[in-house]
Amino acid sequence: MSSLRTCARAAIRIQKLTSVIYTGERGIKRWVAPTLRVINKRKAKLGPQPEPRRSNFLDWNYNAEIFAFNKRLSENFDVELLQQAFTHRSYVAQEEQKQREVGIENPELSIKDNTDLIVEGKCLTSEIVERYLRQALPRLPEEGILKLKDYLLSEEIVAKVSVQIGTKDIILSEDHPVRQETLVNTFFALVAALARSNDVVHTSFFVRDFLIATLSDKEILSIWTPSHPFQTLDAILNREKRGSADFRLTAQTGVNTILAAYQVAVYSDQQFLGIGTGETVQVAKNIAALDALQRMFGIADFSRPIPFNLTVDVSSQRTENLPLTKWCTENLKHTVGG
Protein backbone atom coordinates (compact mmCIF):
# COMPACT_ATOMS: atom_id res chain seq x y z
CA MET A 1 0.00 0.00 0.00
CA SER A 2 2.77 2.40 1.02
CA SER A 3 4.67 1.67 -2.15
CA LEU A 4 1.58 2.52 -4.12
CA ARG A 5 1.35 5.84 -2.32
CA THR A 6 4.96 6.75 -3.11
CA CYS A 7 4.37 5.82 -6.73
CA ALA A 8 1.38 8.16 -6.85
CA ARG A 9 3.41 11.00 -5.33
CA ALA A 10 6.18 10.44 -7.86
CA ALA A 11 3.68 10.51 -10.68
CA ILE A 12 2.26 13.81 -9.48
CA ARG A 13 5.76 15.28 -9.18
CA ILE A 14 6.65 14.23 -12.69
CA GLN A 15 3.45 15.77 -14.01
CA LYS A 16 4.28 19.07 -12.28
CA LEU A 17 7.84 19.03 -13.59
CA THR A 18 6.77 18.45 -17.17
CA SER A 19 4.22 21.25 -16.95
CA VAL A 20 6.96 23.62 -15.72
CA ILE A 21 9.19 22.63 -18.60
CA TYR A 22 6.58 23.09 -21.27
CA THR A 23 5.14 26.42 -20.03
CA GLY A 24 8.53 28.01 -19.29
CA GLU A 25 9.72 31.00 -21.30
CA ARG A 26 13.07 32.53 -22.25
CA GLY A 27 14.72 34.39 -19.38
CA ILE A 28 16.40 36.94 -21.61
CA LYS A 29 14.06 39.37 -23.30
CA ARG A 30 15.83 40.11 -26.53
CA TRP A 31 13.59 42.97 -27.56
CA VAL A 32 14.50 45.22 -24.62
CA ALA A 33 17.91 46.49 -25.75
CA PRO A 34 16.93 47.26 -29.37
CA THR A 35 13.79 49.07 -28.22
CA LEU A 36 15.73 51.20 -25.75
CA ARG A 37 18.27 51.94 -28.44
CA VAL A 38 15.57 53.19 -30.80
CA ILE A 39 13.95 55.27 -28.07
CA ASN A 40 17.30 56.83 -27.25
CA LYS A 41 17.97 57.61 -30.90
CA ARG A 42 14.61 59.29 -31.29
CA LYS A 43 15.19 61.31 -28.13
CA ALA A 44 18.56 62.49 -29.43
CA LYS A 45 16.97 63.42 -32.74
CA LEU A 46 14.33 65.56 -30.99
CA GLY A 47 17.01 67.55 -29.19
CA PRO A 48 16.71 69.12 -25.74
CA GLN A 49 13.07 69.43 -24.68
CA PRO A 50 11.67 72.34 -22.63
CA GLU A 51 11.32 71.66 -18.93
CA PRO A 52 7.69 70.70 -18.22
CA ARG A 53 5.70 73.03 -15.96
CA ARG A 54 4.92 71.23 -12.73
CA SER A 55 1.59 73.02 -12.49
CA ASN A 56 0.44 71.45 -15.77
CA PHE A 57 0.74 67.93 -14.37
CA LEU A 58 -2.35 65.93 -13.58
CA ASP A 59 -1.43 65.69 -9.91
CA TRP A 60 -1.47 69.36 -9.03
CA ASN A 61 -3.69 71.22 -6.60
CA TYR A 62 -2.84 74.89 -6.27
CA ASN A 63 -4.77 75.43 -3.05
CA ALA A 64 -3.16 72.42 -1.42
CA GLU A 65 0.27 73.70 -2.48
CA ILE A 66 -0.40 77.12 -0.98
CA PHE A 67 -1.64 75.52 2.25
CA ALA A 68 1.43 73.28 2.46
CA PHE A 69 3.78 76.21 1.76
CA ASN A 70 2.34 78.02 4.75
CA LYS A 71 2.63 75.01 7.03
CA ARG A 72 6.06 73.92 5.79
CA LEU A 73 7.69 77.16 6.88
CA SER A 74 5.64 77.15 10.13
CA GLU A 75 4.26 80.56 9.20
CA ASN A 76 0.89 82.24 9.45
CA PHE A 77 0.51 83.89 6.08
CA ASP A 78 -2.90 85.23 5.25
CA VAL A 79 -3.90 82.91 2.38
CA GLU A 80 -5.20 85.69 0.13
CA LEU A 81 -2.05 87.73 0.64
CA LEU A 82 0.06 84.65 0.05
CA GLN A 83 -1.66 84.01 -3.27
CA GLN A 84 -1.20 87.65 -4.20
CA ALA A 85 2.52 87.42 -3.34
CA PHE A 86 2.92 84.56 -5.79
CA THR A 87 1.01 86.27 -8.62
CA HIS A 88 3.24 88.40 -10.84
CA ARG A 89 2.08 91.19 -13.13
CA SER A 90 3.19 89.23 -16.19
CA TYR A 91 0.79 86.41 -15.29
CA VAL A 92 -2.17 88.77 -14.99
CA ALA A 93 -1.25 90.37 -18.33
CA GLN A 94 -1.06 86.95 -19.91
CA GLU A 95 -4.52 86.02 -18.59
CA GLU A 96 -5.96 89.29 -19.89
CA GLN A 97 -4.42 88.66 -23.28
CA LYS A 98 -6.03 85.21 -23.34
CA GLN A 99 -9.45 86.74 -22.67
CA ARG A 100 -8.93 89.34 -25.38
CA GLU A 101 -8.09 86.61 -27.85
CA VAL A 102 -11.38 84.91 -27.02
CA GLY A 103 -13.16 88.18 -27.87
CA ILE A 104 -13.77 89.90 -24.55
CA GLU A 105 -13.16 93.64 -25.09
CA ASN A 106 -12.43 94.81 -21.54
CA PRO A 107 -11.26 91.82 -19.54
CA GLU A 108 -11.79 92.38 -15.83
CA LEU A 109 -9.91 89.95 -13.68
CA SER A 110 -10.18 89.93 -9.94
CA ILE A 111 -6.60 88.73 -9.60
CA LYS A 112 -4.33 91.00 -7.58
CA ASP A 113 -0.66 91.06 -8.52
CA ASN A 114 2.35 91.51 -6.25
CA THR A 115 3.86 94.71 -7.71
CA ASP A 116 3.38 96.83 -4.59
CA LEU A 117 4.29 93.93 -2.30
CA ILE A 118 7.66 93.62 -4.05
CA VAL A 119 8.52 97.29 -3.51
CA GLU A 120 7.39 97.16 0.11
CA GLY A 121 9.19 93.87 0.80
CA LYS A 122 12.44 95.04 -0.71
CA CYS A 123 12.63 98.04 1.62
CA LEU A 124 11.62 95.97 4.63
CA THR A 125 14.10 93.16 3.95
CA SER A 126 16.93 95.62 3.44
CA GLU A 127 16.03 97.39 6.71
CA ILE A 128 15.81 94.14 8.69
CA VAL A 129 19.08 92.77 7.31
CA GLU A 130 20.92 96.01 8.02
CA ARG A 131 19.65 96.27 11.58
CA TYR A 132 20.26 92.61 12.30
CA LEU A 133 23.85 92.72 11.08
CA ARG A 134 24.54 95.82 13.17
CA GLN A 135 23.15 94.10 16.22
CA ALA A 136 24.96 90.82 15.59
CA LEU A 137 28.32 92.35 14.67
CA PRO A 138 28.61 95.52 16.78
CA ARG A 139 32.39 95.76 16.33
CA LEU A 140 32.34 95.52 12.54
CA PRO A 141 32.78 98.90 10.78
CA GLU A 142 29.82 100.33 8.87
CA GLU A 143 31.56 99.68 5.52
CA GLY A 144 31.61 95.97 6.31
CA ILE A 145 27.96 95.94 7.38
CA LEU A 146 26.88 97.57 4.10
CA LYS A 147 28.99 95.16 2.06
CA LEU A 148 27.50 92.18 3.91
CA LYS A 149 24.03 93.58 3.31
CA ASP A 150 24.72 93.95 -0.41
CA TYR A 151 25.98 90.38 -0.46
CA LEU A 152 22.89 89.01 1.30
CA LEU A 153 20.52 90.97 -0.93
CA SER A 154 22.34 90.04 -4.14
CA GLU A 155 20.17 88.37 -6.75
CA GLU A 156 22.07 85.09 -6.58
CA ILE A 157 21.70 84.57 -2.83
CA VAL A 158 18.06 85.65 -2.55
CA ALA A 159 17.09 83.54 -5.58
CA LYS A 160 18.75 80.51 -4.00
CA VAL A 161 16.88 81.05 -0.75
CA SER A 162 13.65 81.57 -2.66
CA VAL A 163 14.04 78.25 -4.48
CA GLN A 164 14.98 76.39 -1.32
CA ILE A 165 11.85 77.44 0.55
CA GLY A 166 9.82 76.02 -2.33
CA THR A 167 8.49 78.98 -4.32
CA LYS A 168 9.64 77.82 -7.75
CA ASP A 169 6.69 75.60 -8.65
CA ILE A 170 3.98 77.80 -7.11
CA ILE A 171 4.95 81.12 -8.73
CA LEU A 172 2.37 82.38 -11.20
CA SER A 173 4.43 84.12 -13.83
CA GLU A 174 4.74 84.25 -17.57
CA ASP A 175 8.37 83.16 -17.71
CA HIS A 176 9.21 79.50 -17.64
CA PRO A 177 11.60 78.21 -16.36
CA VAL A 178 11.28 80.91 -13.73
CA ARG A 179 13.93 83.64 -14.05
CA GLN A 180 16.19 84.58 -11.11
CA GLU A 181 14.69 88.04 -10.99
CA THR A 182 11.19 86.61 -10.56
CA LEU A 183 12.37 84.36 -7.75
CA VAL A 184 13.97 87.31 -5.96
CA ASN A 185 10.85 89.45 -6.38
CA THR A 186 8.71 86.63 -5.03
CA PHE A 187 10.85 86.43 -1.89
CA PHE A 188 10.46 90.17 -1.31
CA ALA A 189 6.72 89.93 -1.94
CA LEU A 190 6.53 87.10 0.62
CA VAL A 191 8.29 89.26 3.20
CA ALA A 192 5.79 92.08 2.65
CA ALA A 193 2.86 89.66 2.74
CA LEU A 194 4.09 88.27 6.06
CA ALA A 195 4.47 91.77 7.48
CA ARG A 196 0.90 92.55 6.47
CA SER A 197 -0.55 89.31 7.81
CA ASN A 198 1.47 89.30 11.05
CA ASP A 199 3.79 91.97 12.41
CA VAL A 200 7.25 93.25 11.57
CA VAL A 201 8.97 91.40 14.42
CA HIS A 202 7.62 88.11 13.12
CA THR A 203 8.79 89.08 9.63
CA SER A 204 12.28 89.70 10.95
CA PHE A 205 12.35 86.08 12.23
CA PHE A 206 11.46 84.91 8.73
CA VAL A 207 14.25 86.98 7.15
CA ARG A 208 16.70 85.92 9.85
CA ASP A 209 15.98 82.19 9.60
CA PHE A 210 16.07 81.94 5.84
CA LEU A 211 18.19 84.78 4.50
CA ILE A 212 20.62 85.91 7.20
CA ALA A 213 21.33 82.34 8.36
CA THR A 214 23.08 81.72 5.03
CA LEU A 215 25.99 83.70 6.52
CA SER A 216 26.61 80.92 9.03
CA ASP A 217 29.18 79.07 6.95
CA LYS A 218 30.73 82.11 5.27
CA GLU A 219 34.00 83.81 6.08
CA ILE A 220 33.27 87.49 6.55
CA LEU A 221 36.70 88.60 5.37
CA SER A 222 36.09 86.88 2.03
CA ILE A 223 33.03 89.11 1.54
CA TRP A 224 34.54 92.33 2.89
CA THR A 225 38.23 93.22 3.30
CA PRO A 226 39.48 96.66 4.41
CA SER A 227 41.18 98.12 1.33
CA HIS A 228 44.30 99.64 2.95
CA PRO A 229 45.12 97.51 6.00
CA PHE A 230 48.35 99.34 6.95
CA GLN A 231 46.87 102.82 6.88
CA THR A 232 43.69 101.64 8.60
CA LEU A 233 45.61 99.91 11.39
CA ASP A 234 47.87 102.91 11.91
CA ALA A 235 44.91 105.30 11.97
CA ILE A 236 43.07 103.18 14.54
CA LEU A 237 46.15 102.90 16.78
CA ASN A 238 46.68 106.65 16.46
CA ARG A 239 43.08 107.31 17.52
CA GLU A 240 43.48 104.98 20.48
CA LYS A 241 46.68 106.90 21.43
CA ARG A 242 48.83 103.79 21.22
CA GLY A 243 52.24 103.38 19.64
CA SER A 244 52.28 102.90 15.88
CA ALA A 245 52.22 99.39 14.43
CA ASP A 246 55.57 97.66 14.76
CA PHE A 247 56.12 94.75 12.36
CA ARG A 248 58.67 92.14 13.48
CA LEU A 249 59.94 89.13 11.60
CA THR A 250 59.34 86.28 14.06
CA ALA A 251 60.39 83.32 11.94
CA GLN A 252 61.66 82.44 8.48
CA THR A 253 62.59 79.24 6.68
CA GLY A 254 63.83 78.32 3.23
CA VAL A 255 65.17 81.80 2.45
CA ASN A 256 66.33 82.06 -1.21
CA THR A 257 64.40 78.94 -2.17
CA ILE A 258 61.05 78.66 -3.91
CA LEU A 259 59.57 77.33 -0.67
CA ALA A 260 60.53 80.39 1.39
CA ALA A 261 58.15 81.24 4.25
CA TYR A 262 58.16 84.25 6.52
CA GLN A 263 56.20 84.92 9.67
CA VAL A 264 55.57 88.50 10.68
CA ALA A 265 53.88 89.68 13.87
CA VAL A 266 52.51 93.17 14.60
CA TYR A 267 53.02 94.81 17.96
CA SER A 268 52.07 98.12 19.41
CA ASP A 269 53.81 99.24 22.62
CA GLN A 270 55.10 95.67 22.89
CA GLN A 271 51.50 94.39 22.89
CA PHE A 272 50.74 91.62 20.41
CA LEU A 273 48.13 92.59 17.79
CA GLY A 274 48.26 89.98 15.05
CA ILE A 275 50.37 87.53 13.13
CA GLY A 276 50.67 86.52 9.48
CA THR A 277 52.60 84.11 7.31
CA GLY A 278 53.46 84.47 3.65
CA GLU A 279 55.89 83.61 0.90
CA THR A 280 57.48 87.08 1.02
CA VAL A 281 57.90 89.53 3.88
CA GLN A 282 55.54 92.01 2.22
CA VAL A 283 52.75 89.44 1.90
CA ALA A 284 53.28 88.30 5.48
CA LYS A 285 53.12 91.93 6.69
CA ASN A 286 49.88 92.47 4.81
CA ILE A 287 48.33 89.35 6.31
CA ALA A 288 49.53 90.29 9.80
CA ALA A 289 47.88 93.73 9.49
CA LEU A 290 44.64 92.14 8.28
CA ASP A 291 44.82 89.63 11.14
CA ALA A 292 45.19 92.45 13.67
CA LEU A 293 42.16 94.22 12.17
CA GLN A 294 40.14 90.98 12.17
CA ARG A 295 40.86 90.48 15.86
CA MET A 296 39.78 94.06 16.60
CA PHE A 297 36.54 93.73 14.59
CA GLY A 298 35.66 90.35 16.14
CA ILE A 299 35.59 88.43 12.88
CA ALA A 300 38.73 86.28 13.26
CA ASP A 301 38.65 82.53 12.63
CA PHE A 302 38.37 81.83 16.34
CA SER A 303 35.90 84.62 17.20
CA ARG A 304 32.41 83.85 18.40
CA PRO A 305 30.20 82.96 15.44
CA ILE A 306 27.41 85.34 14.41
CA PRO A 307 24.37 84.73 16.65
CA PHE A 308 21.21 83.69 14.80
CA ASN A 309 18.75 84.05 17.65
CA LEU A 310 18.47 87.82 17.97
CA THR A 311 15.28 89.84 17.69
CA VAL A 312 15.30 93.00 15.63
CA ASP A 313 13.09 95.93 16.46
CA VAL A 314 12.56 97.84 13.23
CA SER A 315 10.59 100.61 14.94
CA SER A 316 13.47 101.55 17.25
CA GLN A 317 15.83 104.41 16.46
CA ARG A 318 18.35 103.84 13.68
CA THR A 319 21.89 103.48 14.89
CA GLU A 320 24.87 102.98 12.67
CA ASN A 321 28.07 101.13 13.40
CA LEU A 322 31.27 103.16 13.53
CA PRO A 323 32.73 103.86 10.10
CA LEU A 324 36.40 102.94 9.57
CA THR A 325 37.44 106.60 9.78
CA LYS A 326 36.10 106.86 13.36
CA TRP A 327 36.68 103.32 14.59
CA CYS A 328 38.48 103.00 17.93
CA THR A 329 37.82 101.17 21.19
CA GLU A 330 36.86 104.38 23.03
CA ASN A 331 34.21 105.36 20.45
CA LEU A 332 32.98 101.76 20.38
CA LYS A 333 32.21 101.91 24.11
CA HIS A 334 29.96 104.92 23.50
CA THR A 335 27.97 103.28 20.71
CA VAL A 336 27.75 99.69 21.95
CA GLY A 337 27.53 100.65 25.59
CA GLY A 338 30.37 98.71 27.16
Partner 1 sequence: MSNSHLFMKTGFPRAALNNGIGRYVCQLQRVTIKFCKNNGSSRGVRDFLEHDLVNFAKENPGIVVYVKPRRHRTPALSAEYLNGEKQLLFCRNYTREEVNKWLGLLRSQVRDTSAIRLRKMWHTDNPSIQGPWTPWTFRDPAQNLVEFPDPKLFKMETEQQTATEKLLEIFKAQQEAERKRANETG
| Residues lying near partner 1 in the complex (CB under 8 A) | 58-61, 64-65, 67-68, 71-74, 160-161, 163-166, 168-169, 208-210, 213-214, 216-219, 250-251, 253, 261, 263, 277, 301-302, 308
The dihedrals phi and psi of 197, each to the nearest 5 degrees, come to: -80, -30
Cβ 209 to partner 1 shortest distance, Å = 3
Cβ 72 to partner 1 shortest distance, Å = 3
Shortest CA distance to 322 belongs to which of 154, 181, 182, 146? 146
Q: Measured from the CB atom, is 113 or 291 closer to partner 1?
A: 291
Cβ 226 to partner 1 shortest distance, Å = 18
264 in Cβ contact with 286 (< 8 Å): no
Q: Measured from the CB atom, is 166 or 323 closer to partner 1?
A: 166
Cβ 264 to partner 1 shortest distance, Å = 11
Q: Measured from the CB atom, is 59 or 330 closer to partner 1?
A: 59
Q: Measured from the CB atom, is 59 or 101 closer to partner 1?
A: 59
Cβ 312 to partner 1 shortest distance, Å = 14
Cβ 13 to partner 1 shortest distance, Å = 28
Q: Measured from the CB atom, is 214 or 335 closer to partner 1?
A: 214
Q: Measured from the CB atom, is 129 or 322 closer to partner 1?
A: 129
